[in-house]
Amino acid sequence: MLRNAFSMEYFRHRLAHSEALPQMVVLGIICGLLCGIVLGSFRLLLEAPLAHLLPGNDSENFEGLASWYHFFLPVLGSLLIIAILSRVSPLTRKVGVTHLLERMAYHQSNLPLKNAIVQFLTASIALLFGHSVGKEGPAAHLGAACGSQLGQQLKLPNNTLRILAGCGTAAGIAATFNTPLAGVVFAMEVVLLEYTVIGFMPVMVAAATGALVMQFMFGQEPVLTVPAMQIESLAEIPYVAFLGVITGLLAVLFITLMRETMRRTTHSALGFKSKLILAGLLTGSTAVFVPHVMGVGYDTVTSALQGELGLTILLTILAAKCILTPIVLGLGMPAGLIGPTFFIGALSGGLLGTLGAGAVDEQVANPGFYALLGMGSMMGAVTNAPMAALVAILELTGNPNIIFPAMISIVVSNLIARYVFNTPSIFVTSMRLQGMDYRYQPLTRVLSGAAVRSLMNTNFIVCDAIISREGAEKALETDPAWIAINTDGKYTLLSPGDLQVKICDLLSPEETFDMLQMPGLRLDTSVIDSKATLEQALDQMTEDSVEALCIQNEYGRIAGLLTREQIEDFYRKN
């Protein structure tokens, strides 16, 4: 018994239940370790070459390069990405957070390894060659793929894959920004779309473990250098709200530009090669005049936070980044957008802070303070993740004085984007352009949280359709809940009570009869894999027009039965 309790089969069986918290916490730790190693390698691949090749040994100092580098590097990067994508199928080219949400919604959180490898390589090239994109989207995809692959390799039930993908997403964001709590909230707010104990705890330990691995590899140096700042007077609150309005409008502009670029190029004659070449040319041409748009740009964000940038340079960089980045991403550049939203938010906030300080004679908050508010407001409005944005800037600064004004600006920016302009998040927008949606209804939430083996009835017996009275009596000796009638590999369920009534009418023990022809309650069935969730089971019942399913284990044998009535009863109780 003790040995069985530590077997892999028992582990999988426990995970099929929606309350398998200890097992999920263990998996969360393993997932965090894997994500930390993968994302540590990703970061090392980016920082090591750039630190040696860019001026001043600064991995973000693209501005120090000669102008011809500014033009040719993004173009060369596009050519290398094309060389990789040309060798894989169109389905394998799908990467990023939108791909993650698609696999969550339509493929039971089964993220292919090939797509993750393509994401690793292409995002690395895009960032190494100075494209105006971020690394957080690839980090979320790579982390989620680590979690999903962990579940797939261990042959865990599908309800577990969803939480593991959330664990990986949280670990990816946590490892990138060194903000474990923001990673947790982002995973819950954008990917899992729920806050439950069974989901929250493993996601939390995965994020903490991923951040710990990154700190072990690279130290505890913060991603951004942020001085201690606070609001100077409550009289600034209206201006903070105004900042929320401006960043909300910028978020709408960002989403609209990216959406229209995707829509127009999707229905044009441009193939993926032409679009990537165009992205390289646009980035290179812009970088000749405004080199600050190249790369992630955390050095520029830090300068904005410290109030080191003047009005002209702030306005110039902001305009270039606001227009270039959504177009490049809409053209299919396989990298992230969260970093650019931080960049745009910081510059817009710094610009407003500088203008506000020059317009009044009173002492007001440092422009860097408004830059920080702009970061959170822009990220929250573009991704529809206001809580994740608030927690991110709180963790990045370690300054509780930021909470109150940040809540105001983030709420206002989200109201402007969602309700004034009715603009969904950039991820949902991208999915809708591909004819998909990402909704998580109450029925889906409950049924996707448990696998069929957690509810299946194992009290059944398999019989052939033609049976004698003696055989029927023997079948009923174990008091089964169902009789599974096997007809050339297809199963029909019969109520044992009806079989009992039938054998009472027979006189001879040798007399045979056909259980498919006798009066009684019979349910047609189809077969489903034991890793499937209850949601999949209900969908298959509807698709196959049956009222019951036979659960097939990894060895091809029928391990249990599941009826529509059982699923409905489970939903009512949960």
CATH code, 402: 1.10.3080.10
Q: What DSSP line would sit under 260-283, residue for residue?
A: HHHHHHHTSS--HHHHHHHHHHHH
300 lies in some domain = yes
How many domains are there within the chain?
3
37 lies in some domain = yes
38 lies in some domain = yes
564 lies in some domain = yes
Answer with the one of 223, 252, 287 that is the final residue of a domain.
223
Bridging pattern class, strands 490-494 and 482-487: antiparallel
Q: What are phi and psi of 332, to 5 degrees?
A: 105, 15
6 lies in some domain = yes
Helix (H, G, I), strand (E, B) or coil at 94: coil
Same domain, 420 and 530: no
Same domain, 375 and 258: yes
438 lies in some domain = no
- Indicate the pLDDT class of residue 1, thresholds 50, 70 and 90: very low
**Mean pLDDT, the chain, whole residue set:** 88
439 lies in some domain = no
d(C-alpha 177, C-alpha 312), whole Å: 29
Same domain, 253 and 202: no
Range of the domain at 182: 2-223
**Radius of gyration of the chain, Cα coordinates, nearest whole angstrom:** 28
- Per residue in 189-219, pLDDT (tens digit) is 888 887 777 778 999 999 999 999 999 998 8
Residue with tokens 């001026």: 55
Residue with tokens 């949601």: 535
User: What is the structure's pLDDT at 354?
Assistant: 82
Bridging pattern class, strands 460-464 and 558-563: unpaired
Answer with the one of 377, 398, 433 that is the final residue of a domain.
433
- Per residue in 378-406, pLDDT (tens digit) is 999 999 999 999 999 888 887 788 888 99
Per-residue pLDDT, averaged over 264-291, amounts to 90
Same domain, 141 and 282: no
